[in-house]
Amino acid sequence: QQQHDDLSTKKLRLTKPSKSAALHVDLCKATSPADALQYLLQFARKPVEVESVEGVVRILLEHYYKENDASVRLKIASLLGLLSKTAGFSPDCIMDDAINTLQNEKSHQVLAQLLDTLLVIGTKLPDNPSVRMRLVEVACKHLTDSSHGVRNKCLQLIGCLGPVEKGVTKEAESQAAKDVQKIIGDHFNDQDPRVRTAAIKAMLQLHERGLKLQQAIYSQACKLLADDYEQVRSAAVQLIWVLSQLYPESIVPIPSSNEEIRLVDDAFGKICHMVSDGSWVVRVQAAKLLGSMQQVSSHFLEQTLDKKLMSDLRRKRTAHERAKELYSSGEFSSGRKWGDDAPKEEIDTGAVNLIESGACGAFVHGLEDEMYEVRIAAVEALCMLAQSSPSFAEKCLDFLVDMFNDEIEEVRLQSIHTMRKISHNITLREDQLDTVLAVLEDSSRDIREALHELLCCTNVSTKEGIHLALVELLKNLTKYPTDRESIWKCLKFLGSRHPTLVLPLVPELLSTHPFFDTPEPDMDDPAYIAVLVLIFNAAKSCPTMPALFSDHTFRHYAYLRDSLSHLVPPLRLPGRKLVSAPVSPNITQHEDPSQQFLHQSLERVYNLQHLDPQGIQELLEFTIRDLQRLGELQSELAGMADFTATYLQCQLLLIKALQEKLWNVAAPLYLKQNALASAAAKQILEETYKMEFMYSGVESRQVVIIHHMRLQAKALQLIVTARTTRGVEPLFGMCEKFLQEVDSFQRCFISELPHMQGSFVDKLLDLMPRLVTSKPSEVVKILQTTLRQSTFLHLPLPEQLHRATANIIEPTGESDNPLRFTSGLVVALDVDATLEHVQDPQGTVKVQVLYPDGQAQLIHPKPADFRNPGPGRHRLITQVYLSHTAWTEPCQIEVRLLLAYNSNRSKASARNPKSTWSESLEALPPSENGIEGTIPFSKPVKVYIMPKPARR
């Protein structure tokens, strides 16, 4: 029967717009508090419309006063809070009632909940100071409550709503203008740790809202650092940090002495002390905050790495110091004897300070902590501090290098990245380099690549260092041949950074001999290529080096310059034909010759508007070919060249399609011949999407041109369809749709239209009034002529343009061993790929698996599967689950990466959201022209799999 009742009330709710009545009925029906609670719980599950909120609130309040049971009152109080959060509802009308309910409430829990509700109400009314004042007053009154929960909420409320500007509060409410900071500060010594925490958090909240905290709090906060409870200490560390940022230069006295130091130094010392706290949460917090205290004086900063060793009361040198000494005395890597670390001089027992008050050894402790969270935080802090202080960077090097051997990979990776970030400040000593290079043998690809990245921007001090690095890199190459590209790149930078250090090594590296000819090395040996990459890059800024080359080296240079042009720079070689030197050397000053070439060829294309059709086609074909070749040769121009080539390709296709003779033939005859035109239209559409979404750096100027091209393709499509289909009905819809698109194009790109004189769209818009009224067949005719007459739009090039590329490293596709698994079950395939210049890969990159039966599967990798090893580069390491019914034979499936796009979420709209057209775009219903699709952007990789039938 209960069930029945329930159903009927539900019906009532559906028919009546006001929920209040239904609730009222429900609550009146409730016989016991438990019943009432049930009704309220049910009620809370459904949203309430804005209009009926106030009514509902009134009813709830009415019941609140009647209710004796605390739990029901609690629920009502929480509902009040929920309801006042409703968007569009202004809760000032219920504030008085809410405050009134506080007066007679006895239950602490309900009180706390009510205060919470008031907090919600207060935050909903941000620009009403008098309401806020009142609420703060109420909160102050309840601060003396004996329950921690109530005090907690009061402090929270004061923190969130307390007056921030002094001026506003001056008026009538004089007693409320009491200093909020003082009120909160008084509760720093509360008996309950939760209230203490809340007080500190409220203070931090005030700070976040823009109130300048008083410096007097500092000493109070310092006392809280010794609190028994970790959450208090953790909050106190934050507070101290805030104060140290507010008053870095004020002077505070050092207790137990007459000296005084800067506040930021004092705070730094105190936070350093917390790095060896008993609770790891506090340690993480402290270590993190240290990184952002850059105003600290270098004296204190350098103390953090200081640790005095001793053994039997005698001073001992650390391994770091010993290594440094060994290095400076010239006997590097002598191997250690027993007693090498024997303690030296005696220590004055009085002078040893075992527990340092200051910053001493904070990072030494942090980096040795047992929790890796603390270690990572410490490494991060180290990184930030070292970035701002070169001398500190030099000092922390030893410690960072040590971290390369941490047991947790994340920490190792983090420290390698850190080292890379500070690499401009440091030069590696040979012994440090040695340790760094030892990590090259790590089995984790991430680590190795990070290390290559690091070596790319490292300064090495000696030629032995370079040699060592080369030897280790080659060792790495033999052990992990897949690292080839990354190692070559690394050597490229290593060479170009240290030409003078490479110079003396050249004869040895090329194994040339003054008298004898040595055998010519194998040109396909990756190791030999690696050596050559190093040498050629060094030779670029070292003109004397080519003199040391032997004949075959020059030949190899020519070959490599051609095949690995992104790794081998152009060299001016004496006495030889300039292999790929610029045609006229005097223009190189201003612009790269290849860039010049690009622009020149484009100019040519744009200028020759009125060539005969045949000529235009040929010119376009040649230019496209040139551009593609240029892209292969000049990696930095690849994006630009490809982009323009694609554009020209589209134009070429369009021209070709229009040149077809079929347009003159009567309709029935070219039914089968239209294949070319419609295919061209389709391809142009595809290419335009590629142009829009695959390149990073596309600006709105380019987007217009791309859209314009797309519009032309659509027009072409329309014409072809009109020609081939019988009957007018389907054409109506198509025409309408096309006109709509023209319309939206006009709206979107209104600002760009003046630049498009004589273009297809320009002409089309002139004819618009005619088009709208005419019949489809007429529209098609007009379109056809406009399309033919329209001029070719000039594509302006942006500063930087990069094509999104993806390369699947794993699976390699070379395996002959099929991956066997039982049909119906799944097998996990590891996919490892590098992505370049992909924006927001988490949202756009998908993995596609194509089965031999044509079945395709689209997999969305988890956001966590993407790593970001460097700017513009991403790495996808994920697992793809495959499954299929049983096959009789192993067969290959294809795995490729796709770039998903949505033409609605155009990149241009994200870039300049203020432009007029994006606003109008938002007004459009999203489904109108939102085409979602995918662009394959990696070479497919074949994987051999074999689903076996399940054994019975």
Partner 1 sequence: FTACSSCPGAGQDVGRSCILVSIAGKNVMLDCGMHMGYNDDRRFPDFSYITQNGRLTDFLDCVIISHFHLDHCGALPYFSEMVGYDGPIYMTHPTKAICPILLEDYRKITVDKKGETNFFTSQMIKDCMKKVVAVHLHQTVQVDEELEIKAYYAGHVLGAAMFQIKVGCESVVYTGDYNMTPDRHLGAAWIDKCRPDLLISESTYATTIRDSKRCRERDFLKKVHETVERGGKVLIPVFALGRAQELCILLETFWERMNLKAPIYFSTGLTEKANHYYKLFITWTNQKIRKTFVQRNMFEFKHIKAFDRAFADNPGPMVVFATPGMLHAGQSLQIFRKWAGNEKNMVIMPGYCVQGTVGHKILSGQRKLEMEGRQILEVKMQVEYMSFSAHADAKGIMQLIRQAEPRNVLLVHGEAKKMEFLKQKIEQEFHVNCYMPANGETTTIFTNPCIPVDISLGLLKREAAIGPVPDAKKPKLMHGTLLMKDNSFRLVSPEQALKELGLAEHQLRFTCRVHIQDPRKEHETVLRVYNHLKGVLKDYSVQHLPDGSITVESILIQATAHSEDQGTKVLLVSWTYQDEELGSYLTSLLKKGLPQSTA
Residue 240 beta carbon to partner 1: minimum distance, rounded to whole angstroms: 19
Closer CB to partner 1, 368 or 894, in the complex: 368
Residue 114 beta carbon to partner 1: minimum distance, rounded to whole angstroms: 23
Q: Give the span between the Cα atoms of 764 and 532, in whole angstroms.
A: 58
Positive or negative torsion for Cα 719, 725, 727, 732: negative
Closer CB to partner 1, 120 or 451, in the complex: 451
The answer to the question of residue 435 lying near partner 1 (CB under 8 A) is yes
Residue among 795, 797, 799, 699 nearest 755 (CA)? 795
Residue among 248, 238, 133, 145 nearest 187 (CA)? 145
From 311-319, 603-611, 838-846, 912-920, span contacting partner 1 (CB under 8 A): 311-319
Closer CB to partner 1, 219 or 444, in the complex: 444
Closer CB to partner 1, 47 or 350, in the complex: 350
**Range 449-488, binding partner 1 (CB under 8 A):** 479
Residue 758 gets the label, from left (phi > 0), alpha (psi -120 to 50) or beta, of left
Q: Six-digit token pair at 872?
A: 């513009």
Residue 355 beta carbon to partner 1: minimum distance, rounded to whole angstroms: 5
The answer to the question of residue 827 lying near partner 1 (CB under 8 A) is no
The answer to the question of residue 313 lying near partner 1 (CB under 8 A) is yes
Of 58, 108, 178, 307, the one binding partner 1 (CB under 8 A) is 307
Instruction: Determine the residue type at 197.
Output: T
From 367-375, 813-821, 865-873, 942-950, span contacting partner 1 (CB under 8 A): 367-375
What does the per-residue mask of binding to partner 1 show for 188-227, with x meaning CB under 8 A?
Answer: -x-x------------------------------------
Closer CB to partner 1, 266 or 369, in the complex: 369
CA atoms within a 13 Å half-sphere pointing along the CA-CB vector of 730? 9
Residue 341 beta carbon to partner 1: minimum distance, rounded to whole angstroms: 8
Residue 372 beta carbon to partner 1: minimum distance, rounded to whole angstroms: 6
Q: Six-digit token pair at 951?
A: 């054994």
Residue 811: asked if its preceding bond is cis (omega within 30°), the reply is yes
Q: Six-digit token pair at 570?
A: 């152009």
Closer CB to partner 1, 335 or 854, in the complex: 335
Q: Give the span between the Cα atoms of 73 and 65, in whole angstroms.
A: 9
From 438-446, 785-793, 882-890, 906-914, span contacting partner 1 (CB under 8 A): 438-446
Closer CB to partner 1, 310 or 523, in the complex: 310
Closer CB to partner 1, 359 or 538, in the complex: 359
The answer to the question of residue 367 lying near partner 1 (CB under 8 A) is yes
Of 28, 216, 254, 438, the one binding partner 1 (CB under 8 A) is 438
Q: Give the span between the Cα atoms of 838 and 861, in whole angstroms.
A: 15
Residue 406 beta carbon to partner 1: minimum distance, rounded to whole angstroms: 8
Largest CA distance in the chain: 110
Residue 144 beta carbon to partner 1: minimum distance, rounded to whole angstroms: 7
Q: What is the DSSP secondary-structure string of 643-689? A: HHHHHHHHHHHHHHHHH-GGGGS-GGGGGTTTHHHHHHHHHHHHHHH
H helices within 209-334, ranges in order?
A: 217-224, 230-246, 263-274, 280-290, 298-303, 319-329
What does the per-residue mask of binding to partner 1 show for 326-365, with x meaning CB under 8 A?
Answer: ---------xxxxx---------x--xxxx--------x-
Q: Within a 10 A sphere around the Cβ of 254, how many other Cβ atoms?
A: 13
**Range 74-93, binding partner 1 (CB under 8 A):** none
Of 194, 308, 324, 656, the one binding partner 1 (CB under 8 A) is 308
From 32-40, 309-317, 690-698, 836-844, span contacting partner 1 (CB under 8 A): 309-317
Closer CB to partner 1, 307 or 948, in the complex: 307
Instruction: Determine the residue type at 630.
Output: L
Of 123, 147, 250, 318, the one binding partner 1 (CB under 8 A) is 318
From 310-318, 382-390, 735-743, 783-791, span contacting partner 1 (CB under 8 A): 310-318
Q: Give the span between the Cα atoms of 250 and 315, in whole angstroms.
A: 37
Residue among 376, 209, 208 nearest 287 (CA)? 376
- Helical (H) or strand (E) element with 696: strand 695-696
Instruction: Determine the residue type at 648.
Output: L
Residue 317 beta carbon to partner 1: minimum distance, rounded to whole angstroms: 9
Closer CB to partner 1, 313 or 679, in the complex: 313
Residue among 259, 260, 262, 257 nearest 244 (CA)? 262
Q: Give the span between the Cα atoms of 760 and 788, in whole angstroms.
A: 9
Q: How many chain residues bind partner 1 (CB under 8 A)?
A: 47
Closer CB to partner 1, 467 or 540, in the complex: 467
Residue 796: φ, ψ to 5°: -70, 145
Judge contact between 827 and 821, C-beta under 8 A. Answer: yes
Residue 441 beta carbon to partner 1: minimum distance, rounded to whole angstroms: 5
Residue 354 beta carbon to partner 1: minimum distance, rounded to whole angstroms: 5
Of 69, 368, 394, 446, the one binding partner 1 (CB under 8 A) is 368
Distance of CA 524 to the CA centre of its chain: 38
Q: Give the span between the Cα atoms of 841 and 867, in whole angstroms.
A: 10
Residues 828, 833, 838, 843, Cα dihedral to 10°:
10
Residue 81 beta carbon to partner 1: minimum distance, rounded to whole angstroms: 30
Judge contact between 123 and 157, C-beta under 8 A. Answer: no
What does the per-residue mask of binding to partner 1 show for 380-419, with x meaning CB under 8 A?
Answer: ----------------------xx-xxxx-----------
Judge contact between 117 and 100, C-beta under 8 A. Answer: no
Instruction: Determine the residue type at 479.
Output: K
What does the per-residue mask of binding to partner 1 show for 267-296, with x meaning CB under 8 A?
Answer: ---------x-x------------------
DSSP 428: B
From 87-95, 149-157, 317-325, 789-797, span contacting partner 1 (CB under 8 A): 317-325
Q: Give the span between the Cα atoms of 272 and 364, in whole angstroms.
A: 11
Closer CB to partner 1, 224 or 835, in the complex: 224
Residue 511 gets the label, from left (phi > 0), alpha (psi -120 to 50) or beta, of left
Of 320, 429, 498, 714, the one binding partner 1 (CB under 8 A) is 320
Q: Give the span between the Cα atoms of 633 and 564, in whole angstroms.
A: 8
Residue 876 beta carbon to partner 1: minimum distance, rounded to whole angstroms: 22
Q: Six-digit token pair at 937?
A: 């952007």
Q: Give the span between the Cα atoms of 176 and 183, in whole angstroms.
A: 11
Closer CB to partner 1, 148 or 714, in the complex: 148
3-class secondary-structure state, position 460: strand
Closer CB to partner 1, 261 or 364, in the complex: 364
Of 26, 266, 369, 762, the one binding partner 1 (CB under 8 A) is 369
What does the per-residue mask of binding to partner 1 show for 753-782, with x meaning CB under 8 A?
Answer: ------------------------------
Q: Give the span between the Cα atoms of 755 and 705, in whole angstroms.
A: 10
Of 441, 562, 636, 919, the one binding partner 1 (CB under 8 A) is 441
The answer to the question of residue 3 lying near partner 1 (CB under 8 A) is no
Cα 256 to Cα 21, 713, 831: the distances in Å are: 71, 83, 63
Task: Give the interface with partner 1 as residue ranges (CB under 8 A).
Answer: 144, 189, 191, 228, 276, 278, 307-313, 316, 318-320, 335-339, 349, 352-355, 364, 367-372, 402-403, 405-408, 435, 438, 441-444, 479
